[in-house]
Structure 1
Amino acid sequence: MAPLQAIGAGNFLVERSKGFEQLSGAKLGTPDRAAATTDGGFIDAIGGALDKVSQLQANSSGLSKEFQMENPDVGLEETMIAMQKASLGFQAAVQVRNKVVQAYNDIMNMNV
């Protein structure tokens, strides 16, 4: 049986925020497109987060199918934990999407 890890949106967000720590030291001014493409940045952080959510959902689905087929190596606890992790990850991704769309709309509605 796989070792259990703590469940929580906080853990998911802490993992994702590690990519943002690099951005916090960036100086303000005109954006440098060459530096943005080589350092990764926001797009890579979001892509990594979505990949993680996809992996969590695939793992949850696989464990659920194995449990339904009465595989003795897969327990109910492990399956439920995987399902909760996938659910929390998806909820966090939806909230990030909502905030990004809201920020985009706010910027588009600004008077110049």
Structure 2
Amino acid sequence: MDLRLNSATSPVSAGADLASKLTRPLQKAEAQGHGFSAELESALRSVSAAQNHSSHMQKEVQLENPAVSLEETMVAMQKAQIGFQASLHVRNRLVQAYSDIMGMQV
């Protein structure tokens, strides 16, 4: 009976193979621009655009532009505020997750 471990089936190489198999789809998604960072960047750009649109509409209302209504301006302000609050919550969760990971004992 042979009890020797083959180097191809050693736990260390098996773990490395598993890690590469698990990270391959993530690397492919990142390369194609569909990863977490791309989605986060897209969401932040959307929030920034909503804030810019809201401030532009506020200026137009202050200049008494008849084409811009106060109701539309208030809705745009609320959308920008909700988007900012959501991105703030995501940031807080990411910071908390980072703190938890860094505080783990190895």
TM-score by length of 1: 0.71
Mapped partners of 2:47, 2:89: distance in 1: 13
| Larger RCO, structures 1/2 (Cα 8 Å, 6+ apart) | 1
1:31 is aligned to 23
Mapped partners of 2:104, 2:23: distance in 1: 20
TM-score by length of 2: 0.74
Task: Describe the superposition over 1:2-33 as per-residue Cα deviations: whole angstroms up to 9, x where unpaired.
Answer: xxxxxxxxxxxxxxxxxxxxxxxxxx844236
Paired residue type of 2:69: G
2:84 is aligned to 90
Does residue 46 (structure 1) correspond to residue 40 (structure 2)? The answer is yes
Instruction: Identify which of 89, 107, 110 aligns with 2:104.
Output: 110
- In the TM superposition, residue 37 of structure 1 has moved relative to its aligned partner by 2.4
SS at match of 2:88: helix
Mapped partners of 2:27, 2:90: distance in 1: 26
Which structure carries more helix by proportion? Answer: 2
RMSD across aligned C-alpha pairs, in angstroms? 1.6
Unpaired segments of 5 or more residues in structure 1? 1-27
Mapped partners of 2:38, 2:28: distance in 1: 13
2:74 is aligned to 80
Number of positions where the alignment pairs a residue of Structure 1 with one of Structure 2: 85
Paired residue type of 2:62: Q
Paired residue type of 1:52: S
Report sequence identity in percent.
52
Unpaired segments of 5 or more residues in structure 2? 1-17
